[in-house]
Amino acid sequence: MKTTLIYNAVYCTLCEETIQSYHRHDYKHCSCGNAMVDGGLDYNRWGWETEGSVINHSLYLESSPFSVIRQHFYRWNHNTQTYVTLENIDDAWLENILEWYIPSDVSRGTMNPDYLLLFLQEKLYRSEQED
Ligand SMILES: [Zn+2]
């Protein structure tokens, strides 16, 4: 079965902290040093010092409802230098992303189609909320 990561995070039960890896080389430790996570959306690598103390909270496209995906899938915002979850991407930015990446005469980049579809789905989701 195909599995596409949309959120890569683990929870440390010792310090009660959730740590998230945003990109391939984003290696994170929790504050007590027990848990680690790495790989961003490329792969879910995680570990622990104390057996059974870390819970994997990662989410996959194929096994998550869209209402959950939009709260966790994210994109880097160059202006604010922060990661923004899909549900918090403003309408204008969402339009720009779609125009930029949907293959057409005016597209200027390529994106993994699985992820591109999420931005399209978000636009559809918003149009359905307006009714
Ligand atoms: Zn910890």
Domain ranges in the chain are 5-61, 65-130
Centroid of ligand 1 to alpha carbon of 30 (angstroms): 5
Centroid of ligand 1 to alpha carbon of 21 (angstroms): 15
Centroid of ligand 1 to alpha carbon of 5 (angstroms): 23
Centroid of ligand 1 to alpha carbon of 63 (angstroms): 27
Centroid of ligand 1 to alpha carbon of 12 (angstroms): 5
Q: Give the model confidence (pLDDT) of 2-39 as tens digits.
A: 689 999 999 999 999 999 999 999 999 999 999 999 99
Percent of the chain with pLDDT over 70: 98
Centroid of ligand 1 to alpha carbon of 72 (angstroms): 21
Centroid of ligand 1 to alpha carbon of 23 (angstroms): 21
Residue whose C-alpha is closest to residue 102's, from 122, 87, 116: 116
Q: Could you report how far apart the first and last alpha carbons of the chain are, in Å?
A: 36
Q: Give the model confidence (pLDDT) of 42-58 as tens digits.
A: 999 999 999 999 999 99
Distance CA 114, CA 46 (A): 24
Q: Is the pTM of this model over 0.75?
A: yes
Q: Give the model confidence (pLDDT) of 65-109 as tens digits.
A: 999 999 999 999 999 999 999 999 999 999 999 999 999 998 899
Q: Output the pLDDT for position 130.
A: 78
Give the relative orientation of helices 91-101 and 113-130 as an angle to the nearest 10 degrees: 140
Q: Output the pLDDT for position 23.
A: 96
